[in-house]
Each structure stands twice: as structure tokens, then as C-alpha cells.
Amino acid sequence: MQETNDKGMLIRGRFTQRLARVMERINASIGFDQKMAMQDIAGSLAHAEMLAGQHIISAEDFAAIRGGLEQIREEISEGHFEFSVALEDIHMNIESRLNELIGAPAGRLHTARSRNDQVATSFRLWVRDAHDRALELIKELIGELLELAERNSSTIMPGFTHLQSAQPITFGHHLMAYVEMFGRDYTRLRDSRARMNESPLGAAALAGTSFPIDRAFSAKALGFAKPMHNSMDAVSDRDFAIEYLAAASLAMTHLSRLAEEIVLWMSPQFRFVQLSDAWTTGSSIMPQKRNPDAAELIRGKTGRVTGSLLGLLTVMKALPLTFSKDMQEDKEHTFDAAETLELCLEAMTGMIGDLTPVPERMLAAAGTSHATATDLADWLTRELGMPFREAHHVTGRLVRLADELNCSLDGLPLKAMREVHSQITEAVYTVLSVESSVKSRNSLGGTSPEQVRGEVARWRAHLQLLTSQVNPVY
């Protein structure tokens, strides 16, 4: 990147001295806000077209501005554009280049506009694009989870509370819990996208403008639903980025929990699942290791995103209206969070696609620790008419007996069970296997294979409906 030169004097009409070097460094945002180049050009094109339509600039000036901006767009995408720190930010870099390319008409582009509404517009467009990318990636992740859940609708594994075996469940049901979570992340992002989709352009510095602009025109040209109604709010709030960060933090929290489970399931003590060589790393010293690094990194990177949320909330919390330079600190938090979220969503989708369950390990673990004790208590309640509390107590005694005899609940002889409660019959064994346990939990939202298959089908249709409603603009 080019260091100091006279370009820095572009907007320094009343100043006679140039910026101190350190002042230039602390002031410049070009090192990161060049990411918004395409959005800034889109904003300028819409603004210039509106100015021409309103006869605020001539058609010839508009044609020159458009030609110049299109050339700059090409220079940037091909990597020939020279960014300059002295020009502070992406807005000034582009305007200065436009001036080099087309001369006088470039100076008319900034009519009825300030960098305050300009940056608010560019950043909003960028955050809207980040919403669209995340939505697409979440959709792909959900699709991959549905495939795995469908193939494992009757794969039995232990369900945990307190990380203690609680009741047998199906692996498909476990995965579908994440489909629900990521489904909410999807609609959360859709909600915030809809809320943020209003145009700040034309708010000018903070109070509007005396030029006869048409804000509805530029809003429409940029795919915004409408112009924002208050010029001060338009240039000074960043709640749209905070909402994005909040939604991203929740999505990362869900990713992190799933990542943690993959780490657990991959450990030799569990060995519930396997990942191929493509998704594991070895150890430099212990040849037997297969480490699920991507899962660990997803878990670890979650802190960056939640940190960004807290960072931007803190930047904004005591700022008086309207613009303060503090707000330039909105971008790095948001850019880093978006990059992290997108990488982690892709990595999780890849891992889920790669993951192979080890059903015999899951089944063996599901049958330990008297996981069907609740089924036994339910049977006593249902078949013998016992109050559930009493059934719970009787079951507790049977569990203790099984421990004493060192067998599972379905390994207890009927005679031994009858000594605990005389009315227990042979029929009790039908509910004591893990298979019958999961099959019987067929209540809405329950773990039975039938429920899981139904949910997979429902989600497929639901996802199609949800995603057909998104309307990305460029």
C-alpha cells in the first residue's frame, strides 16, 4: 500500500499542514475498509444516477462518473488499484482515483452526500451481503445434517444429561436437534436482514440536504426496501451490524456445541464416530492419534465472534448522536466475525458430510447404566396403575438389585423382580430393551425412528419454502 503523498490534501482545504504520521496511521481505515469497495461503488453509482435524474448534475457528468466508477471497479477486482493510506479510507481512495480518471465531473459526485451517509450505505450493503452468504451456508449445513439424520433415524445411542447416560435415543434425533438450532439461526438472520434493509443514502452529514434529491430512487437502485426516515439515525446507528454479530454469535455457539460433541464422540473412550484422513490431523510424536482439529478450532473461534459482538456494543454504548470517529471501529469486528462464521459453517458442513457413525459402539453405550430405567417406571405406572412417584421408587430398588447382581435391567430374572414387587409380569421385558425404548418414544418431537423420519421430511419441505423467499440483490 502506498504511504504518505500529497493525495492526503484532497479534503484539507482549510489546513496548511499535513497530518502527523501517527495521526495518519490511527486515522486511516483503508487497511480494512477496502473490503467494501464494491459496495461503495454501487452506492456511488446509485447516487450519481439519482443526481442526474433530478437534474442536479448533467447527463454528461453522470456518464463520465459511471464510466470512471466502472473502470475503478475493474481495476480493484483485477488487483491493479493502488490504495493509499494518505487517502484515509475506501471512499476517498475511490473518489481520488475518479478525479484522476475523469477530472472535473468527479467533483460533482459528492453533491448532496457526505461520507457519513456514504459509509453507512456501503457498510449496510456489506453487512447485507454477509447475511446472504451466511444464510446460504446455513442452508447447506442443514441439508448435510438432514442427510446424516435420515441415514441414522434408527441408529441407537445414549442420550445424556449432565453428560451421564440418561435414556437411549436415536442418532438421527440428536442431529435433528441441531437442525432446529441452525434453522432458528437462519430465520434470525432473515429477520435482521429484513430489518436492516433500509437506505441511509441521502441523509447527508446528519441533517439531510437542501438539494431536491430522490431518496426512494437510490434506495430502490440498491435493493433497499425504502429510505430510512430519520437522517440522524441513518448516519449514526450501527444496530444492524450488532444484530448480525448477535445472530453470528448464536450460530457460532451452536456450531461450538456440535463441535464439542464431535470431539467427545471422536475420543477413543467414546469412538461413536469416525472422521476420514481429510478431516483429521496426526500427532508429531504419537502415531496412534487422530485429532479432530477442525472441530476444536470451531469451538475455539467462537470466542472471536462473541468477542466482536461485545466489542462493537462497547464502541457504541456511550456515543452521542450522530457520527463519531469511534464508529470506524465497527468494521474490523464485523469483517472478522463474518469471515470466521463463514469458515466455520463450511468446515462443519464438510465434517458432517465426512462423518461415519460407529453404530455398534453407540448401541453398546446406550445399553449401559440402566438407560431403560425410565421405561420400566413408565411400565409400572401404565400397566400396574402405580403413581409415577411410587414407580420411580420401585424402579430404583430394581436398579440397585441389578447392580448387586451385576447385570442389566433386562438381565434380571423375573423371580428377583417379583421379590421387589409381586405384580410385575413377564411382559415387562418388552420395554427393557433399548430398541423398544426408542421406538416407544413416539410422542411429537420424540426420539422414535418414525418421528425422526417425519421430521427430516418436514424439514426438507420447510427449507425449500424458507430459502425460496430470500431475495439477494447483487
Alpha-carbon distance of 262 to 260, in angstroms, equals 5
Stretch of 111-119, 194-202, 222-230, 356-364 lying at the interface with ligand ARG (CB under 6 A)? 111-119
Closer by beta carbon to ligand ARG, 89 or else 378: 89
Smallest gap from residue 115 Cβ to ligand ARG (A): 4
Active site residue 162: yes
Question: Is 33 near ligand ARG (CB under 6 A)?
Answer: yes
Alpha-carbon distance of 36 to 42, in angstroms, equals 10
Among 35, 115, 128, 188, binds ligand ARG (CB under 6 A): 115
State the catalytic residue, choosing from 162, 422, 443, 468.
162
Smallest gap from residue 239 Cβ to ligand ARG (A): 16
Alpha-carbon distance of 76 to 94, in angstroms, equals 10
The pairing of strands 164-170 and 156-161 is: antiparallel
Half-sphere exposure of 152 (CA within 13 A, CB side): 28
End-to-end CA distance of the chain: 28
Q: Is the peptide bond before 322 cis (omega within 30 degrees of 0)?
A: yes
Smallest gap from residue 89 Cβ to ligand ARG (A): 4
Stretch of 75-83, 113-121, 281-289, 442-450 lying at the interface with ligand ARG (CB under 6 A)? 113-121
* CA separation, residue 18 to residues 10, 13, 91, 107, 362 (Å): 11, 11, 19, 22, 69
User: What are the cell numbers at 109?
Assistant: 459526485
State the number of binding residues for ligand ARG (CB under 6 A): 10
- Rounded to the nearest 10 degrees, the angle between the axes of helix 239-266 and helix 330-354 is 30
State the catalytic residue, choosing from 58, 77, 283, 324.
283
User: What are the cell numbers at 435?
Assistant: 430398541
Question: Is 44 near ligand ARG (CB under 6 A)?
Answer: no
Closer by beta carbon to ligand ARG, 31 or else 303: 31
User: What are the cell numbers at 135?
Assistant: 444464510
Question: Is 119 near ligand ARG (CB under 6 A)?
Answer: yes
Q: Per-residue x/- mask for ligand ARG, residues 302 to 341, rule CB under 6 A?
A: ---------------------x-x-xx-------------
Active site residue 392: no
- Helix or strand (DSSP H, E) at 170: strand 164-170
Question: Is 29 near ligand ARG (CB under 6 A)?
Answer: yes
Which residues in this chain contact ligand ARG in the complex, by CB under 6 A?
29, 33, 89, 115-116, 119, 323, 325, 327-328
Q: Which positions are annotated as active-site residues?
A: 162, 283
